[in-house]
Chains A and B, each alone.
Chain A
Amino acid sequence: MSAPVHLVMAWHDWLNLFCHFLLLSLMSVGGAISTTSEMHRFLVEQHHWLSQAQFNDSIAIAQAAPGPNVLFVALMGWNVGLNAGSMTAAVFGVAVTMFGILMPSTALTYAASQWGHRNRHLRVVRAFKQGMAPLVIALLMATAWILASAGGHGTADWPLWAVSLASCAVIWRTRLHLLWVLGAGALLGALQLL
């Protein structure tokens, strides 16, 4: 399954990839990560442009790297290009997938936010922005919970939970720089204590 894939990507294949990511962009409410199951269906199952291992690694590496999580999309394009045989194709793949996933949502968000800003004194606009606040906080706490339970071993993962709780308390209550806390977590993990 993780055997290297060798591809011949014709122009219409690249165009197909680009158009599919344009569509995914419009569906990516809640972030590009919410469309990963559809990406998996398209890239791995339907076209076999990526192996299962390449798909998983693309997500894992982007999560561990600094920067927005959407960069996992760039890694998918990169790997499709590598499978097509060259570094140039890999760079081209990054451009195809990143422009595809970003252009529609970016244009839409920019237009909507400019409209909202011009009409920020309207009661409807103010009510929307303030009314969403409790849910925004709930979603942040839910994201934290889902990430913290990603280890998947329940109570056997208690050291990981302890690290999550401790770092939450430290960042909530102190002004310590984030990188110190991340470094401490990385060190504990590297020493096999987690």
Chain B
Amino acid sequence: MNSVPPLPPAVSTAAPSRPASLRELFIAFTWLALQGFGGVLVVVQRELVERKQWLTHEEFIEDWAVAQVMPGPNVVNLALMYGGRTFGLAGALTALAGLLACPLIVVLLLAVLHARFAGNPAVEGALRGMAAVSAGLIGAVGLKLAVALRTNAVPLGWSIAICMAGFVLVALLHVPLLYVMLVLGGLGCVLAYRRLHA
């Protein structure tokens, strides 16, 4: 493992790059956590997939699927999985520490400050503006990842149908996530299983 970051090559199935050391892993997760206002998912996709190219779109979706199904915060699970794959248990704990240590200090400082500025209309307005932006950012990640459905084992027509049904059930009808996962996730898995060769 050279410490010189390689230039990203064109599209390939395996991620073109990876962290050279635990230190680099820690710094990467600290940096992306500190950029993640209103959630870290968007930044993970930007930093790890687009900039550092430690993960491909496809790998990111697969990891995110597992991270959602397992108990625990999704981004925490993703950090554990990625760190564990690159450096084993030490990597998993390093990524987790990077994700949580600095943001924990920041959030405690904010809690101390909050009492003083709670009633300020400019602060309240800024928070509302940032919340609206972070909703849009998560939508953008969904749109970007949708590209990967074209090469997915699930036939494209079925993928689109599952996407639309999932959105309606969760966003509009507020059906509990567990049922949606069992039915629509299960359907996707069966469709994929039939298309994949043993």
Residues of A near any B CB (own CB < 8 A): 25-32, 34, 57-58, 60-71, 74-75, 78-79, 94, 98, 102, 104-106, 108-110, 112-114, 116-117, 123-124, 126-148, 150-151, 160-161, 163-172, 175, 178-179, 181-182, 184-192, 194
Contact = CB atoms under 8 A, between A and B. Distances in A.
25 contacts: A58-B111, A66-B34, A67-B102, A71-B100, A105-B73, A106-B96, A109-B67, A126-B192, A129-B66, A132-B62, A134-B160, A134-B163, A134-B184, A135-B185, A136-B65, A137-B142, A137-B146, A138-B184, A141-B163, A144-B136, A163-B133, A172-B140, A172-B144, A189-B126, A191-B122
B193 A131 contact: yes
A178 B42 contact: yes
B71 interface: yes
Contacts of B185: 131-132, 135
Contact of A29 (B69, B76, B171, B191): B69
Given A109-B72, A194-B129, 6 more contacts: A61-B107, A65-B110, A134-B162, A140-B141, A141-B142, A148-B139
Contact of B139 (A27, A168, A191): A168
B197 interface: yes
Contacts, number: 362
Contacts of A110: 80-81, 84, 89, 92
The majority secondary structure among interface residues of chain B is helix
B138 interface: yes
A75 B111 CA distance: 8
B135 A164 contact: yes
B178 A29 contact: yes
Contacts of B80: 106, 109-110, 113
Given A31-B73, A67-B104, A139 B131 contact: no
Contacts of B62: 129-130, 132-133
B145 A137 contact: yes
Interface stretch (B1-9, B10-18, B19-27, B151-159): B151-159
Interface in B173-198: 177-178, 180-181, 184-185, 187-193, 196-198
A114 B70 CA distance: 13
Contacts of A132: 62, 65, 68-69, 185, 188-189
Given A123-B196, A133-B188, A167 B137 contact: yes
Contact of B71 (A108, A124, A130): A108
A185 B188 contact: no
Contacts of A165: 136
A190 B123 contact: yes
A68 B126 contact: no
B170 A68 contact: no
A14 B37 CA distance: 31
Given A123-B198, A131-B154, A136 B64 contact: yes
A139 to B, nearest CB: 6
Nearest to B174: A146
B76 A167 contact: no
Contacts of B81: 109-110, 113
A67 B167 contact: no
Contacts of B140: 167-172
A75 B65 contact: no
B33 A68 contact: yes
Contacts of B135: 144-145, 147-148, 150, 164, 168
